[in-house]
Amino acid sequence: MPNKRLTKLYDHCKNLKNSSCRKLSEAFKTSKSSIHRMKQKIQQRSHITGADFFESEEGQKWLIRLMVACIFVFGIGSTVGADKIAMFFMLIQVTCFIGASSGSIKRVQNSVKNIMLEYQAEQDKHVKDKAKNIEITACADETFFDETMILLLMDLKSGFIFTEESAKDRSHKTWESLTTHWVSRFKTVKCLVCDWAKALVKLGKDSYICVCVADLFHLMTDISNPMRFAFNRKIKSIEKLIKVESNNLKSYKNKGKTSVQYKESKYKIESLVKEKAEVLTAQKHYQREFRAMSTTLHPFLIEDSSRQTSIDAASKMHAGLSQIQSIQDRFKFPDKKNRLARAGRRITPACEQIDLWWDWVSTSLDGAEIEPEQKQWLKSYLLPYVYWKKQINKTRSKEIKKSYVAACLQAEQKLMSEPVSKVMNYDKHSPWYQWAISMTDWFQRTSSAVEGRNGWLSQLHFMGRGFSKDGIQVQTTLHNYWIKRDDGTTACERLTGIKPPDLFEYILSRIDSVPEPRKRKQGENDNPLNLQGVPA
């Protein structure tokens, strides 16, 4: 507690209001002057709202919880400065009961960070002990903050971060040294999703001994970068020329409609208007093909939810990219880094996961004691319905969301009309429905979770003016063991199936005191220019 003697003295004085300092000093075995100072302190802050509660033992515990919670949520979780937190405590008038200066807050914050690192070490050990029976789908990527590079390795299914550390380079050896101590503990790495960098491909094939999959996020980014702004630039350029020719047309009008210059200017305007219409049509065509490429990379056809192979998906995506490249060639949009060609090289490795996923589905049903037609029902009717239902909330594009909703409704109708559906139990809590959810979660076609994490780190880096080593570690601890999804589970719980101890309560149980309030003596500021004894 901040001051146990003060709390006991307050309770004693409350029960025995007329106790003298002499009697209290004998009861507490301390000097009368000490008792007098403590009584003065209690009296000076008695006017504050809630003082009776804050002086009690329960109130003191609540103040500790308040201080630790503010530091945990705002100071560590959101990198709010100690000065701002100190200002908050001053505004709610609790600085008379706890020491809440910026220096005190920094000391408590360092203590909280150390406890969080101890917690992480304990829980990481439990995860590693369970890892021998767990399969993962890993995703690796790097991000840059000024001169700092952070290497990140995450399990896409659970969102659990294995490695989040700064490094000087992103070579295969560096990746291997930072991640192998985690990855080697797991039963199987089903695949490594990455941006198809050479070091990461080598990491997956040689170090993890698994299939490498090119993620859709970077593939689609390579396509959109040279194209998304090119149309607007072209349209603005045409509109500018139309405006110039329109002004010329007005000046030529005085010379008569039969003048050569007037006719040429009018013809140019008509040509430019036609060209603008062609660009707008091409833009819609590009957007249509771009969305089609995104909705193609699924284990089911979006048109009828039938099974799709890697070869079929790759063929359709190559055809869509060919259409986009023809638009780029037609309007001569610049692509200095050959991003479209690079996207074309990534299509086949991106589609490899489809056949791989179907193998996982078949393997998961090998030991099931059900009829062959029931297995087919699971693959062709229940799985497509659950899969499309999960995809609806994974996109923010209105057009793509409409496609997923339509595919889900169609799959649901097929499921309801199938005779086997009357025999099989597939409500949300049934084992087969949970199996379908689990298999759906194994199909990870993008590194969006990693990119989202990078964006969050970028925001924290900007607000906190940089990262320290323990600063990154505590952020990893928060991500793995504290932050929860909509279903109320942490990343650790989704990975291991074990709910970790509450991180905040763990911290609170190890902090039994916070700094006490104190009043600084106001020193006199000597101003050598202010000489009162010297006449003007």
Q: 114: how many CB neighbours lie within 10 A of its CB? A: 14
Q: Among residues of the chain, what percentage have pLDDT more than 70?
A: 85
- Cα distances (Å, whole numbers) of residue 27 to 22, 34, 43, 285: 9, 13, 20, 88
pLDDT value of position 375: 93
- Cα distances (Å, whole numbers) of residue 58 to 206, 387, 466, 507, 516: 59, 51, 38, 18, 16
Question: How large is the average pLDDT for residues 43-66?
Answer: 73
Confidence of residue 40 (pLDDT cuts 50, 70, 90): low
Show the DSSP H helices in 427-488 as ranges.
431-442, 448-464, 469-481
Confidence of residue 128 (pLDDT cuts 50, 70, 90): very high
Q: Which residue has better confidence, 268 or 465?
A: 268
pLDDT at 61 exceeding the cut of 70: yes
pLDDT value of position 30: 62
Q: Which residue has better confidence, 250 or 528?
A: 250
Q: Which DSSP symbol is given to 382?
A: I
Best-predicted range by mean pLDDT among 5-9, 279-283, 512-516? 279-283
Q: Rounded to an integer, what distance in angstroms lies between the CA atom of residue 417 and that of residue 303?
A: 18
State in Å, rounded, how far the first CA of the chain is from the last one: 57
pTM, full prediction: 0.84
Q: 304: how many CB neighbours lie within 10 A of its CB? A: 11
Confidence of residue 2 (pLDDT cuts 50, 70, 90): very low
Judge whether 47 and 81 are in contact, CB under 8 Å.
no
pLDDT value of position 39: 60
Question: How large is the average pLDDT for residues 309-338?
Answer: 95
Question: How large is the average pLDDT for residues 333-341?
Answer: 93
pLDDT at 123 exceeding the cut of 50: yes
pLDDT at 228 exceeding the cut of 70: yes
Token reading at 526:
């000597």
pLDDT value of position 255: 62
pLDDT at 38 exceeding the cut of 80: no
Q: Quick one: CA dihedral 446, 450, 455, 456, positive or negative?
A: positive
Determine which of 12-16, 132-136, 451-455 has the lowest per-residue pLDDT on average. 12-16
The predicted-structure confidence for 433-462, as pLDDT tens digits, reads as follows 999 999 999 999 999 899 999 888 888 888
Q: Rounded to an integer, what distance in angstroms lies between the CA atom of residue 276 and that of residue 528?
A: 75
What is the average pLDDT score of the chain? 87
Q: Rounded to an integer, what distance in angstroms lies between the CA atom of residue 162 and that of residue 152?
A: 8
